[in-house]
Structure formats: C-alpha cells, structure tokens
Amino acid sequence: MKEGIRKATRHVNQNEGLIFEKSSAGKAAWKLPPLDVPEIDTSKLLGSSARKDLGNMPEVSEIEIIRHFTRLSTWNYAIDLGMYPLGSCTMKYNPRVNEAVARVEGIANGHPYQPEKISQGAMRILKTLSECLIEITGMDAITLQPAAGAHGEMTGLLMVRAYHQSQGNARKKILIPDSAHGTNPATAAMVNYAVENLKSDSRGMVDIAALEAQMGEDVAALMLTNPNTLGVFEQDIHKIADILHAKGGLLYMDGANMNALVGKVRPGDFGVDVMHLNLHKTFSTPHGGGGPGSGPVAIKKILEPFLPAPVVVTKADGTLGFEYNRPQSVGRVRAFYGNFGMFVRALAYIQANGPDGLRQTTEDAVLNANYIRKGLEGAYDLPYSTATMHEVVFSDKLQAKKGVRTMDIAKRLIDYGFHPYTTAFPLIVPGALMIEPTESESKEEMDLFIDAMKSIADEVEEDPQTVLDAPHSTRVSRLDETSAARKPVLRWKPAV
C-alpha cells in the first residue's frame, strides 16, 4: 500500500460467537407485567395444539444482547463509515431526521385497519408523497403499494398486461436490453411474458435498428433503464418511445437510476408510460443490510384504471379515504398499503431538500461520477467513452493481463478502507467495475478513493499476488463460497 493513503488504520475488534453459544438456562432479558386476568390452563384451552417446548431458543441477558449485536455491527462496512460506491445500488446518506419522524407515536403505531376518521395523518402522508413523486417523474398517477423495486416491476407489468388485455390482446413478450438488471427478465417471467433480449450498440445504448426490427404487434413493452446500467443516458429516448408507441407497445422505465434525473428531466416528458422508483435509492431510505425497500409505480393516465386497490381519494367532505371499488384493478400486490414507514422517510427527504436541494443533489451525483471517471481514466480501461451520468463503468482489461480480475481489485479496495464497487455487472462489460459515488461524497473522500484505485493499479503491475490474496486486513479472509453452496449449512445446530 502506498504511503499517504490516509483512509483506514487497522484496529482491534471483538470476537463474538453465535448467540446460541452464550445461552444458558435461567438467564433472561425480559420481564412481563403481572397478569391482570385469571390464569389459564393451557392444556385445557389448547388441547393437543399446546406446544411442549421451544427447542434451542436462546436464554441470555440484556447486556449480552447489546454486546452481541454491537460487536457484530462493528464487522460491517456502512455508508456512515465511508464511501460505498456500489454501482446501481445508490448508497447515499440516510438522514437521521427520517428515522426520528418515522418513530413518532401515531406514525409508528398506527394500525392499518383503524377507522379512516383517525387515519387522516397517514393518508395525508400517502397523498402528499404521491403528489411529489408524480411531479418529480412527470407522470399522471401512482401506487405506493409495491414493497421493493422488483415488486414494483411486477406491478407495472401487470398494469401493462391489463391495459393490453383491455385493448383486446395481452401480447406475448417484453423487450429487455442486454444491459438490464436481472430483476427485469425475472419479473417478465412472473407475469408470464416471454423475454426477448435487445442488444446494445457501440455507444452502450439501445440499438435503434435492432429495436425497429424486433418491435412488433406482439411486444407488450420495452423495459428500459435510463440512464442505463452503464450510467449512459439513452439519447434516442424519443425515437425509442416513438417506435414502441407506433406499434401499440408501452415504454416501461426501470427507475433504479432516477437519482441521475430528479429536478433535471422528467421521464413522463420523454415518453415513458410506466415506471417504478426505488425509495431506498433515490429517496434516501436506508438499505438496512438488504431492505426494506419500497417500489412505487408511476403511470400515465391510460393505465390509471388498472392501479392496485385501494387508492387514496379526497371525499366530498374534504377528508381523505381509501377507494376499494376499482373494477379494472390488477388487484392487490401486498396486504395493507405498502411499506408505509419508507413513505414517511422519503417525504421527509423531499422536504429537507425542496426543489433546489433535489436539483443540486442530482447535479452533485453526476459531477461526482464524472470526477471519478476523469481521475481513473488511464489507470483502468473505459469500455464505453459515451458521456457519464451518475455512475461510471470501467473494465479489468488492463489488470486481467496480470491475472487480476475485477473481484480481486474490489477485495483489495477493502484494505484501503472502502467498500467495493459493483463487480461483474452490467453483463455487457466483461470484468466490469461499476462505480457510483452518489452526491454524498466530498471531494476529499473521492480523492482518497481515486488514490486508492490508482495505487491498486500500480500494485497489479508490481505485485499482483498482494491483490489476488486480498483482503488482508479483515477479520476473515476470502470465504469458501463453493463449499458453502455444495454442502449448505443454513442454521446452527447444537453439538451432539
């Protein structure tokens, strides 16, 4: 490691076993109040349904639980510790006021079935967030019900199908560019559409000639990510929309990269008919180690009759209510109304930014990605020279000559104190390094990142083995994933 890389220093962290290994009979971390109703005879009430014992559930004290999870937490990397440049995942700062307001009594403890009269606050949040997202996307209507991006994709395609069905023909297939997220084809399959691959051109954009050739009356929609997974804005977007619309198809936009557009351009204005948003990406709700997410779907007027029920409406007396009577609805995609707690956080984020803050956020995200591109050009191969928006994709072509691949570079980056970028995606770039800094990084943090990446490029030339063996400073070294999959151990069992 080069002198002067100041990002990280090794320090001691605590060892910690599994919670089951700390358990012993008689320890407890709980205390219930005295029972104020008559005691019951369980076996009499439940008969043969009465449970005999709870197996190997742990028995531990409160301090042990605090230390257990605190120790575990110190083994994680997180945005709160530093740059987390996972391309496509948009690891931006998660504001703490969002967490505070999500825990206010009536918001945290509202029951989904409490009477509408005492649900006006929650419904006002649903309505206000919906209005903001409709304005931001330039669409006409929205559902907040889907629980994550992929769930939103499914909901969107269900509406696409219902729309075509109402036109007399559900159509057969969905066109998906070869640069797309894996969720797109998986979703199309769940809605029983065939997937047809659409190739990218030399600029990394949709190949217009190919699209024209493949577009027909049996195509229900094109699922397009814009900017796409190369971080490239589809400049021919109006042509793409026209080609689809001319044959009666719809344009679906995967909004995973909406953070490159907010306040600068609106998908509704460039021909998109239906799109999902990821509140856990663009709108700052925390990823929490993998979720929860939230995947609202915004649509044009023609799709409105097909929205999942219920929708929030303003009633004659001015109060808000849920409307369930929607005969053309695709149906429910989730119980209740969606991941409400995420709506609270996303709205708080929009309020903290305002129109000026949202625009500046987008500008900074794009500025940061371009700054990194400039900083690493030359050190790493840039397979597509097309202009970069919010993320930049390099390849390991130069390093592969020394036998070092993108995953090795990623692991070495850990030693320098950074979370790796996204490896080996998009699939159209062999050995991809997909870097998305987001707006949350300062110039200083990015300079450190650029220095680290350049230092690794030098190491590959001078001492590739160091990179191949990385990471060197973590509490565990590279883990044996092959044996984990071959003989899966998916739960703890007591020693016999």
Partner 1 sequence: MRYLPKSPADREAMLKSIGLGSVDELFAPIPAEYRLSRDLKVPRQMAESEIVDYFRERSRENGEGYTSFLGAGAYSHYRPVIIDSLISRGEFLTAYTPYQAEISQGTLQSIFEFQTMICELTGMEVANASMYDGSTAAAEAVMMAVRLTGRRSVVVARSLHPEYREVLATYATHQGMPLSVAGFGDDGRVNLKELEKSITTETACVLIQSPNFFGTIEDVAAIAEVAHKRGAMLVVSIAEAVSLGIVEPPRQADVIAMEAQSFGVPLGFGGPYCGVIATREKYVRQMPGRLVGQTVDKQGRRGFVLTLATREQHIRREKATSNICTNQALVALMVNIFMTVYGKVGLKELAGQNLAKAAYAASQFAKHGNVLFAGAPRFNEFVVQTSEDPHIINARLLGQRIVGGLPLKKFYPELGNAALWCCTELTTRNSIDTAVRLVADSDGSAPSTKEEARAEEVAR
| Cα gap 23→58, rounded to integer Å | 5
20 binds partner 1 (CB under 8 A): yes
| Cα gap 376→370, rounded to integer Å | 10
Question: What's the min distance (Å) between Cβ of 472 and partner 1?
Answer: 10
Residue type, 339: N
| Cα gap 248→244, rounded to integer Å | 6
Question: What's the min distance (Å) between Cβ of 216 and partner 1?
Answer: 19
18 binds partner 1 (CB under 8 A): yes
216 binds partner 1 (CB under 8 A): no
Rounded to the nearest 10°, the torsion over CA 142, 304, 362, 425 is 90
Question: What's the min distance (Å) between Cβ of 382 and partner 1?
Answer: 14
Residue type, 109: N
Query: Which residue's CB is nearer to partner 1, number 210 or number 450?
Result: 450
For the window 374-413, what string marks contact with partner 1 as x by the rule CB under 8 A? xx----------xx-x--------------------xx--
- How far is the CA of 7 from the CAs of 2, 83, 168, 419, 473, in angstroms? 12, 10, 61, 12, 13
Question: What's the min distance (Å) between Cβ of 449 and partner 1?
Answer: 13
Q: Which of 40, 208, 213, 246 binds partner 1 (CB under 8 A)?
A: 40
The conformation of residue 210, written as its DSSP 8-state character, comes to H
331 binds partner 1 (CB under 8 A): yes
Q: Which of 341, 382, 400, 451 binds partner 1 (CB under 8 A)?
A: 341
| Span 457-486, contacts to partner 1 by CB under 8 A | 471, 474-481, 483-485
111 binds partner 1 (CB under 8 A): yes
Question: What's the min distance (Å) between Cβ of 81 and partner 1?
Answer: 7
Question: What's the min distance (Å) between Cβ of 88 and partner 1?
Answer: 10
122 binds partner 1 (CB under 8 A): yes
In this structure, the number of other CB atoms found within 10 A of the CB of residue 53 comes to: 6
| Span 240-299, contacts to partner 1 by CB under 8 A | 262-266, 269-270, 278, 280, 284, 286-294
495 binds partner 1 (CB under 8 A): no
Question: What's the min distance (Å) between Cβ of 213 and partner 1?
Answer: 21
Count, residues near partner 1 per rule CB under 8 A: 205
In this structure, the number of other CB atoms found within 10 A of the CB of residue 263 comes to: 17
| Cα gap 172→193, rounded to integer Å | 6
Beta-carbon contacts of residue 3 (< 8 Å; ≥ 6 apart): none
208 binds partner 1 (CB under 8 A): no
Q: How many residues does the chain have?
A: 496
| Helices 406-415/443-462 angle, 10° precision | 120
| Cα gap 257→88, rounded to integer Å | 7
Cα R_g (the chain), whole angstroms: 26
Question: What's the min distance (Å) between Cβ of 6 and partner 1?
Answer: 17
Question: What's the min distance (Å) between Cβ of 197 and partner 1?
Answer: 10
452 binds partner 1 (CB under 8 A): no
Query: Which residue's CB is nearer to partner 1, number 402 or number 411?
Result: 411
| Cα gap 184→492, rounded to integer Å | 35
Question: What's the min distance (Å) between Cβ of 9 and partner 1?
Answer: 15
Element (H, E) at 432: strand 432-435
Query: Which residue's CB is nearer to partner 1, number 331 or number 403?
Result: 331
Q: Which of 6, 29, 167, 199 binds partner 1 (CB under 8 A)?
A: 29
In degrees, rounded to 5, the angle at the alpha carbon of residue 455 between the alpha carbons of residues 429 and 393 is 20
Stretch that binds partner 1, among 69-77, 217-225, 245-253, 394-402 (CB under 8 A): 69-77
Question: What's the min distance (Å) between Cβ of 339 and partner 1?
Answer: 4
169 binds partner 1 (CB under 8 A): no
130 binds partner 1 (CB under 8 A): no
| Span 71-110, contacts to partner 1 by CB under 8 A | 71-81, 84, 86, 89, 91, 93-95, 97, 99-110
Cβ contact 214:184 at 8 Å: no
Q: What is the DSSP string of 273-300?
A: -EEEE-TTTTT----TTT------EEE-
